[in-house]
Amino acid sequence: AQEMGISVTSIPTNTTYYLMAGQYLPSRPTFDANNPFLKKEVRKALNLAVNREEIKNAFFSENDEIMIGPFMHPTMKPTGLPAEEWQEVYSRWEQWFQENYQYDPEEAQRLLAEAGYPNGFTLTLYSFDRPAAPQAREMTEALALDWERIGLQVDLVNLEFQAVRGMYRQRAEENMGVAVWLGTSRWDPLVWNRAQ
């Protein structure tokens, strides 16, 4: 039998990210007007509380990068958008990200208090494996620790991804009222091209 080797790409091929879940449309029968995630200050606080650099160093290789968002990388561009336009768009987003979303747990706590949650709140964080992210469960635990440091109470639930998929497909309030789950995506050449 021939041994398998490991190849390292020179361009991004996969992203790993977390999504805040919930029913945000008032027209949905399961809409909850008290969902903390409806408040921008809460969403920003949770972002500021995540030590991305520490997570990257703990779970990824030196070749991996912190991105400003899923599919937001200078070497990628949406299909149909000229490369020079994409570079301009990306540069603006990158500057905005650097100015607004660097690790700052003290500001995160201030924003939570401003949003009406000085003592935090409880949220559900689903922990599950993904084929494209073998480190997913450990990353989720690290995320929970970051959020607990700013005063949130994290209900960490271990389960299989199929169970999580069923929850958000059903749009069930009791499952997705205040929840976070991990996503992974590979670059789709039908939507994204390499910026030249």
pLDDT in tens, 112-146: 999 999 999 998 888 888 777 788 899 899 999 99
Q: Say how far apart CA 168 and CA 171 lie, in whole Å.
A: 5
Who contacts 7 (Cβ-Cβ below 8 Å, separation ≥6)? none
Per-residue pLDDT, 189:
59
Q: Which amino acid is at 89?
A: V
Q: What phi and psi, each to the nearest 5 degrees, are found at residue 142?
A: -65, -40
Per-residue pLDDT, 187:
62
Per-residue pLDDT, 34:
86
Please tell me whether residue 157 adopts helix, strand or coil conformation.
Answer: strand
Who contacts 184 (Cβ-Cβ below 8 Å, separation ≥6)? 14, 15, 16, 17, 130, 131, 132, 133, 136
Rounded to an integer, the average pLDDT of 89-102 is 93
Phi-psi region at 48: left, alpha or beta (left = phi > 0; alpha = psi -120 to 50): alpha
Per-residue pLDDT, 192:
62
Per-residue pLDDT tens digits for 13-55: 778 888 887 667 788 777 788 889 889 999 999 999 999 999 9
Per-residue pLDDT, 177:
52
Of 12, 147, 129, 128, the closest CA to residue 69 belongs to 12
Q: What is the CA radius of gyration of the chain?
A: 18
Instruction: Tell whether the model's pLDDT for residue 109 goes beyond 90.
Output: yes
Q: Which residue has the higher pLDDT, 186 or 101?
A: 101
Q: Say how far apart CA 158 and CA 141 lie, in whole Å.
A: 10
Q: How far is CA 70 from CA 8, 13, 67, 100, 149, in A?
A: 20, 11, 7, 17, 25
Per-residue pLDDT, 40:
93
Can you state the angle between helices 52-59 and 136-149, rounded to 10 degrees?
Answer: 150
Per-residue pLDDT, 47:
93
Per-residue pLDDT, 194:
63
Per-residue pLDDT tens digits for 69-84: 877 888 877 778 888 8
Per-residue pLDDT, 172:
61
Tell me the torsion sign for CA atoms 74, 78, 79, 84: negative
For the beta carbon of residue 18, count every other beta carbon within 10 angstroms.
17
Where residue 105 falls among pLDDT bands split at 50, 70, 90? Answer: very high
